[in-house]
Structure 1
Amino acid sequence: MGRTLMENGKYRCHDFVEGHNHEHYIPSTTHMILLIDDSGIRPKAAFEYMGRRAGGRQNLGYTPKDHHNYLRSKRQHDLGYGEAASLLQYFTEQSRLDPSFSYVVQLDMDELITNIFWADARMIIEYALFGDVVTFDTTFRTNKKNRPFGIFAGFNHHRGDIVFGAALLYDEMVESFKWLFEAFLKTHRQKKPITIFTDQDAAMAKAILEVFHGTWHGLCIWHLMQNAIKHLGNLMKNRSSFLSDLKKCVYQYVEEVQFESVWEELWIKYGVENNSWLNRLYGLKEKWVSSYMNNTFTGGMRSTQLSENINADLKDYTKSTLDIVQFFKHFERVVNEKHANELKAEFDARNKLPKNMFSHIKIIKHAGEVYTPKIFDLFQDEFSMVSDCHIKWKNESSSLGEYGVGIDEQEIEFKVECNPSESIVQCSYRKFETFSILCCHALKVLDLLDIKLIPKAYILSRWTRAARIMVIEDSREKRLWNMLIWLPHNVIHCYAVNW
């Protein structure tokens, strides 16, 4: 290029030789550059990969700087209308691809976006099937703007983690959480979870109390223990057993009176009667002590670990320079990976026989037929303890028999009530009430009464192989369809099982 310096200090171009120029990128490789960038691979590694695919850097036709500039130009173009407009454009496109895609946006007085909640069709179906227990966590921060990112998560029938919705928040104040929880209920047709687990955030707790009426609110045990170490670390030095004693208070006792007695012993033993943090924790005992939770279904969940697992996966893809639309794309990828894990678990369940340690016992065969492999393993673990259980006393004077059941070398005894004619079996251990599989004490009594199958009332559909079979009413023709709901990618597929 020829140029001349003019009097005003500017240059004037008078000649251009096109042969001296080169393309910033080969058009045929543009789609590859974008795919790699969407995958979260950093530009330097992406350039190296493209060079190997082309047989060497010299064959690419562009430099690392060109690669970087192209991506920067692409992102600037994507955000040409501003972050808010790009976000709404993204949501509009998702709604076009997925008519059930739902999003709610809150604006401030200046009509700027503050809080966002969204859920796709798959998340909505997942919540309808498995939204009985939910965890919610906002410990993850998205990018250099440090916005709180919240995930609603839960268990599927394979006990794999699934997502029910996600949010980007402006702050973590009570009003923001109230708006979010109301948006969550609106999206999920006002269906409230039975149980929700969070950390000890006071603003979040207040919002849950106001919005999720009737939902039991549990505290994440992992966060609780971390806070205990932070506030009471001085009590854990020199091989102290304080932490293990505290964990016993959390997990070990079934009866409330047992917990209260042991908690008082803990106070006296470590001289913490006046510790303000521990006293506040005691005031929240209904949210973390097992003996106060045995009337609430938790599905075995005691923490927000599911949400945090997803956060950890998301960190593998994100970096501080990401714009909001890129972040959403990476989140989609993480959710799709969770779904792929379920597809694999479903394939294995259909094509591999579960390991059966009691193949000659009918109730175990029955469990293997109805439960998913993961739940079957847990049921089989309970059954393996039946031989260690003993009937210490019994009262069969009425139709509802009563039995005292204990385990070898354990002083604790549990009361089991059973009416075979009405298929009733209940244990004071309350394993079924909290997890929805029968405990070894109840199974011992069923074995004693020669009951060979799990009573129908004690098979929770959410743990079964048929958990995704839903009964749907066609209002136009007034008939019921049994449908198997499956959701690969962003498309809902419904396979008719029976008409």
Structure 2
Amino acid sequence: MIVNRVENIDEDLLGRVVSTEEEAYNLYNNYATRVGFSVRKGQKRYNTKKVLRQFSYLCSKEGFRLDSDPSELSKVSKLETRTGCKASIRFAFQDEDDTWKVSYFVPEHNHELAKPEERQFLRSNRKVSDSNLGVIKTMVGAGIRTTNTYSYLAEEVGGSQNVGFTKRDCYNVVNKEKMAMIEAGDAQSLMNLFKRKQAEDPMFFYTVQVDQENRMTNFFWRDGRSRIDYDCFGDVVVFDTTYRTNRYNMICAPFVGVNHHWKNVLFGCAFLLDEKTDSFIWLFETFLESMGGQKPKTIFTDQCQAMANGIQNVFPGVCHRLCSWHISQNAARNLGSHYGNQEFNHMFNKCLQGYCETELEFQSIWDDLLAKFNLTGNPWLMTLYNLRAKWCPLFSRHIFTARIKSSQRSESTNNVFHQMSTKTMSLTQFVHHYDKQAEKMRSSELEESFRCNQGLPSRIAKSSGILNHAATVYTRKIFKLFEKEFVDSLAVMMHEVGSDGTIHSFELNEEGHSRVYLVQLNSFNHTISCSCKMFESMGLLCRHALRVLNVKCWSQIPKQYILKRWTKDAKKELEANEHGELLRVNGKSSVTLRRNALMRTTYDVLSKAAETKATTRIAVKKLREMEELIEKEMIKSKGEVNQKTSDNVVDCNASGCTFDETPVLNPPCVRPKGISNARLKSAMEKRRKRTSKDTVSSSMKVPCLVLLFTISYY
């Protein structure tokens, strides 16, 4: 047997006195770290009154493991680390002064001790401190990968050997926090999270649908800020369900709009277990209820019959537009080689993108398309033609659509979710990620609003007239769109074709184009209209109307043609009302905010202190003094809290409290292998992908999706 005495550590702990068990453990563990071994707790001894009298700590290699049953095969091959080492320490209670004294101490070891560079791996020496835990939680919460978080901590302290724990410990801490987040079960933890959010934000709204076994099936939520955004920009809603990003293979369905900076804004989000009509009716009714019954003017979706049924049932009279991008993908799948023909694409896109000005022109191009390519009677084109009012912009020019031609705004939001979430993510985690994404989008909006209020574009600031007026009222992005129309109006030819003194009629055509547009100007009530219907569909005056106003020497845009949703003050009134006051409460925990504030305050001081040895000594001394004061205050505060808690203990049964509320169970977990958490691709996209792979190697077949079925009730 090897007897390894510690020669480099001239320290005998026999007779040392400590006040508490924690202090005793720290004494021996610090000694063990300096020597090069790990510590574990030993036996405790009590007297007849069950009062602790002795406790001990041992070398982690003390004793031997019991022989296991050979028939029980272990899943993990573990190392045998026990060597029967006798090194230990024992503390005995001293009645005379209520302290603990080292009564027995064995320093000899029968095994090799860890080298100085290896002591960072000793188990009892590895501990994630509260300060490090706070940094880890903050950085992981900000979307920084765990491995990068650990690298940052190592960089801050001069190497991984000084961190105090390993990268694996860092991963374990992160996973522990994730598990704590759904400790009550994923669905019930989500319910608890929603309840906390509702307590913090009175305008927060959520609702959940469960099946007969009380398993969560569908749910929807939105915060108070989303309600204000909807009040300002809820005239156009983009709704998309082609995205799955969670362990239950549920469908993520965000409601997205466009704000006054031409950026995405979130109105709320839902998760659905299936894409049936009943599910969509429930969701749209819930969404409408959460928004106070205010319907949008236009809603964009993909081509789903169940979704269309739900919209027709809940949103009668609302313009339902189909995503042109999805129609293009379906055309490629259903029309085969025709879709690859350049002339066919030109004629088809002329109808799809709304380049036709009249229904007669649309019908003529459509008939020529069918005749030229012998597609008369094609079932897919016949179905598409019957839905022409939903996908051709010509048929909805009189309705405000913000000239959005596809649901890719929603899909771009989904792409952001895809970057930050995984197919194994819990629903509770996803809601946290959703909140962070919403916060980033709102921060971007706030920054853009700040820029808009700082001044005017330099080329416009010294000018006057309509362009200067537009720069004053519109946001930067909307002004760029307006400016383009204004500049293009300079190339528009016009001549007056009629006037009765008040109403003036003009015919205009753009240079190089034969199409003629009709503009009517009422000089009495300052109204103007154009046959292109740009203001009705976009909310901005077109180049034809601007040409007339410019020629007639108008210096400002008529008030009725400044759509508030595009202006700098689009949210001014709503943000100043009582709802805005409620939303100023930050949902972050006060502990996190205080820690972040302290880190910002102390960073500069500590950076200066690290410049010289003298300033470093001063900083260390003052930090230790601060630590002692803080610990005393924490002990004092903890005692006061415990006293207050004991004084306010309520007998729940006596006061009528019940614990009979049935917890909500997790959704059915039926994720087949091979399902990605990306947007659901069409068959055409998949075929193209397989074809490209086949040129290199043969591809493997992907298992089919498993059909989901559930019964939902309120």
Q: TM-score, normalised by structure 2?
A: 0.64
Cα-to-partner distance string for 1:17-39 (whole Å, 9 max, x where unaligned): 69973334233311222223323
Query: Which has the larger displacement, 11-20 or 277-286?
Result: 11-20
Residue 235 of structure 2 aligns with an amino acid whose one-letter code is D
1:221–1:288 contact (8 Å) kept in structure 2: yes
Residues of 2 paired with 1:367 and 1:310: CA distance? 30
Structure 1 stretches lacking a partner, 5+ long: 473-480, 493-499
Residues of 2 paired with 1:487 and 1:335: CA distance? 18
Give 1:47-446 correspondences, 5 Å limit: 47-237=150-340, 240-250=342-352, 251-354=354-457, 356=459, 360-397=463-500, 399-446=502-549
Q: CA deviation at 1:436?
A: 1.0
Report the counterpart of residue 570 of structure 2 in structure 1. Answer: 467
1:402–1:416 contact (8 Å) kept in structure 2: yes
SS of residue paired to 2:274 = coil
Residues of 2 paired with 1:130 and 1:20: CA distance? 56
2:456–2:472 contact (8 Å) kept in structure 1: no
1:297–1:436 contact (8 Å) kept in structure 2: yes
Q: CA deviation at 1:262?
A: 0.8
2:277–2:310 contact (8 Å) kept in structure 1: yes
Structure 2 stretches lacking a partner, 5+ long: 1-59, 71-79, 90-121, 588-714
Residues of 1 paired with 2:204 and 2:309: CA distance? 29
Cα-to-partner distance string for 1:202-260 (whole Å, 9 max, x where unaligned): 111110110112110001111111222222231134x5332232111122112111111
Query: Which has the larger displacement, 120-129 or 266-275?
Result: 266-275
| C-alpha spacing 1:25/1:419, structure 2 compared with 1 (3 Å) | same
Residue 161 of structure 1 aligns with an amino acid whose one-letter code is N
SS of residue paired to 1:417 = strand
2:281–2:311 contact (8 Å) kept in structure 1: yes
Give 1:444-463 correspondences, 5 Å limit: 444-463=547-566
SS of residue paired to 1:140 = coil
Query: Which structure's CA Rg is the greater one?
Result: 2
Q: CA deviation at 1:349?
A: 0.6
Residue 79 of structure 1 aligns with an amino acid whose one-letter code is I
Residue 224 of structure 2 aligns with an amino acid whose one-letter code is A
Cα-to-partner distance string for 1:155-180 (whole Å, 9 max, x where unaligned): 11111110011111111111111111
Query: Which has the larger displacement, 21-30 or 194-203?
Result: 21-30
Residue 122 of structure 1 aligns with an amino acid whose one-letter code is R
Cα-to-partner distance string for 1:34-86 (whole Å, 9 max, x where unaligned): 22332333333333333223321111222222223333333333322111211
SS of residue paired to 1:171 = coil
Identity %: 34
SS of residue paired to 1:264 = helix
Residues of 2 paired with 1:466 and 1:343: CA distance? 12
| C-alpha spacing 1:7/1:157, structure 2 compared with 1 (3 Å) | closer
2:202–2:582 contact (8 Å) kept in structure 1: no
Query: Which has the larger displacement, 254-263 or 66-75?
Result: 66-75
When the two chains are superposed, the root-mean-square deviation of aligned CA atoms in Å is: 2.8
Report the counterpart of residue 496 of structure 1 in structure 2. Answer: none
Cα-to-partner distance string for 1:445-472 (whole Å, 9 max, x where unaligned): 2233333221111111111111112279
Query: Which has the larger displacement, 32-41 or 206-215?
Result: 32-41
Report the counterpart of residue 477 of structure 1 in structure 2. Answer: none
Report the counterpart of residue 476 of structure 1 in structure 2. Answer: none
Q: CA deviation at 1:304?
A: 1.2
Q: Which has the higher strand share?
A: 1
1:122–1:487 contact (8 Å) kept in structure 2: no
Does 1 or 2 have the higher relative contact order (CA < 8 Å, sep 6+)? 2
2:201–2:224 contact (8 Å) kept in structure 1: yes
Residue 220 of structure 1 aligns with an amino acid whose one-letter code is C
Residues of 2 paired with 1:467 and 1:291: CA distance? 28
| C-alpha spacing 1:24/1:287, structure 2 compared with 1 (3 Å) | same
